[in-house]
Amino acid sequence: MSTLVTEGIRNRHSSQTADNIILNSDGTITADGVTSSITSKSCATIQRTSDATTFMATSAPLTILTINITPTISTSKFLITAGGPFDGTKDVTTGDDRSQLQIYRGTTPLGQPTEGYDRGGGFYLAFFDSNNHSGNQVSYHLKIRPEGNLSNFPETILVKQGTSLSVMEIK
**CATH number of the domain that residue 65 is part of:** 2.60.120.1340
**Do 133 and 69 share a structural domain?**
yes
11 and 23 housed in the same domain: yes
Q: Are residues 69 and 135 in the same domain?
A: yes
Rounded mean pLDDT for each run of 10 residues along the chain, 171 residues in total: 48 47 59 49 80 68 88 90 80 66 95 80 90 91 76 65 90 78
- H or E stretch at 29: strand 29-31
Question: Do 74 and 103 reside in the same domain of the chain?
Answer: yes
State the residue range of the domain holding 130: 40-170
- Cα–Cα distance, 26 to 138 (Å, whole number): 23
Q: Where are the alpha helices (DSSP H) in 55-157?
A: none
Task: Tell me how far apart the alpha carbons of residues 3 and 26 are, in angstroms, rounded to a whole number.
Answer: 16
If asked whether residues 141 and 126 sit together in one domain, one would say yes
**Same domain, yes or no: 32 and 51:** no
How buried is residue 121: exposed, middle or buried, by Cβ count under 10 Å (0-12/13-18/19+)? exposed
d(CA 169, CA 54): 32
Residues 133, 56: one domain?
Answer: yes
User: For position 144, what pLDDT does the model report?
Assistant: 84
Q: Are 167 and 76 in contact (CB under 8 A)?
A: no
Which pLDDT belongs to residue 97? 64
pLDDT given for residue 168 in this prediction: 92
Please check whether residues 57 and 29 belong to one and the same domain.
no
Q: Give residue 166's pLDDT.
A: 93
24 lies in the same domain as 5: yes
6 and 77 in a single domain? The answer is no
Residues 101 and 121 in one domain: yes
* Domains held by the chain: number: 2
Q: Is residue 11 helix, strand or coil?
A: coil
DSSP 72: S
Distance from chain centroid for Cα 79: 8
> Is 95 found in the same domain as 160?
yes
CB-CB contact of 70 with 169 (8 Å): no
